[in-house]
Structure 1
Amino acid sequence: MEPKWLEWAKQLQSIAQAGLTYSKDIYDLERFELIRKISIDILSQHTDVDQEMIKHLFANETGYATPKVDIRGVVFKDHKILMVKENTDGGWSLPGGWGDIGLSPSEVVVKEVKEESGFDVKAVKLIAILDKKYHPHPPSPYHVYKIFILCEIIGGQAKKGIETSAVDFFAEDELPQISNERITESQIQLAFKHLYHPQEPVTFD
């Protein structure tokens, strides 16, 4: 579970964003701007990120606040799972990234797997939709839904991408150092569960 201060900061940000979008009264707009500033101050006090960066990353959206969507490709070969090494932290993750406007989840996962690993795949099955805050990731300013899609290799070859420095397949009992910001060991175990039990229903929350 995420820390309470982070939950409060995100709730304040959501309230402020909605208020700034729909309110017309000038005094209410000032109040919602103050609420947004408080949410930024909370994050600034509990992280090493300065306020301007937090404002740019966390408090710059408009409209009704909704979760961001992170889409990950689950690809197996010879009972090993495809993973890519992230340039940012040196940890290994499942290929994937933020959902793109104009693309469906299956289109995003095909694109991301190609860009990060070099393999051409087709999306086969949705295996999980998880709320990031209920899993052992580091604290994040965003409320994130993680979508895991089982894919099948149809071509290509292992090739690192702009954001990745290595590509490899790993057995369940021989996993590398994981990029916990993006993926957790329990989520990889969940992926293997769907490999061993194809009739397993979609996992959610």
Structure 2
Amino acid sequence: MTTPEFVLSLRERVGHAPLPLVGVTAVVFKDEKVLLGRRADNGSWQCVSGIVEPGEEPADTAVRECREEAGVDVRATRLALVQQLPRVTYANGDHVDYLDLVFRCDWVSGEPHPADGELTEVGWYGLGELVEVDPQHVRKIALAIAEDDPASFHGGR
């Protein structure tokens, strides 16, 4: 995955120390199907995701990432889940703590295709076709299905 310039700049200052970053996951629906892609870096099937740029609205990030990675235009309609992901340690030793904001998105236009190289395959899949999808992403899809349920939060008391 392409590392944003602001993260590279921060890494010059903090080295491999843990960085708290905000990420988004876009769960995009078209009719009764969900948009899924196979990541180029690890081969896993999941929803489109990305890092929020400084000053960017998270819902706008979801829309931007869908256009950049999958070539589709979407509308973010609802925040479905807010969760802190377990710390990620990358092969180069970088540590990241992602706050993941999961948005339900509705397809507007465009045919999905691997647009920027972050995904090797992308397309629409029925909910019964999620066999190879990571269970975390299946859960995100399940929470995003309802159009008007409140967002789910983890760890709150």
Structure 1 residue ranges without an equivalent (≥5): 1-55, 179-183
Does the 8 Å contact 1:58/1:142 carry over to 2? no
Q: Secondary structure at the match of 1:128?
A: strand
Give the structure with the higher percent helix: 1
Change (3 A) 1:124 1:166: same
Pick 1 or 2: higher relative contact order, CA cutoff 8 A, min separation 6.
2
| 1:97 CA drift (Å) | 0.9
Instruction: Check if 1:100 corresponds to 2:58.
Output: no
**Structure 2 length as normaliser, TM-score?**
0.75
Change (3 A) 1:190 1:165: closer
Does the 8 Å contact 2:27/2:47 carry over to 1? yes
Does the 8 Å contact 1:127/1:191 carry over to 2? no
Alpha-carbon RMSD across the aligned residues, in angstroms, is 2.6
Instruction: Check if 1:156 corresponds to 2:110.
Output: yes
Q: 1:198 — aligned with what?
A: 147
Q: 2:135 — aligned with what?
A: 185
More off after superposition, 150-159 vs 108-117: 150-159
**Structure 1 length as normaliser, TM-score?**
0.59
The number of aligned residues is 138
| 1:84 CA drift (Å) | 1.1
Whose radius of gyration is greater, 1 or 2?
1
Aligned partners of 1:58 and 1:117: how far apart in 2?
32
The C-alpha deviation readout for 1:156-185, integer Å capped at 9, x for no partner, is 11121221111112223321534xxxxx42
Change (3 A) 1:173 1:67: same
Structure 2 residue ranges without an equivalent (≥5): 1-10, 90-94
Change (3 A) 1:86 1:194: closer
Give the structure with the higher percent strand: 2
Aligned partners of 2:109 and 2:115: how far apart in 1?
16
Q: 1:125 — aligned with what?
A: 78
Percent identity between matched residues is 22
Q: 1:67 — aligned with what?
A: 20
Instruction: Check if 1:173 corresponds to 2:122.
Output: no
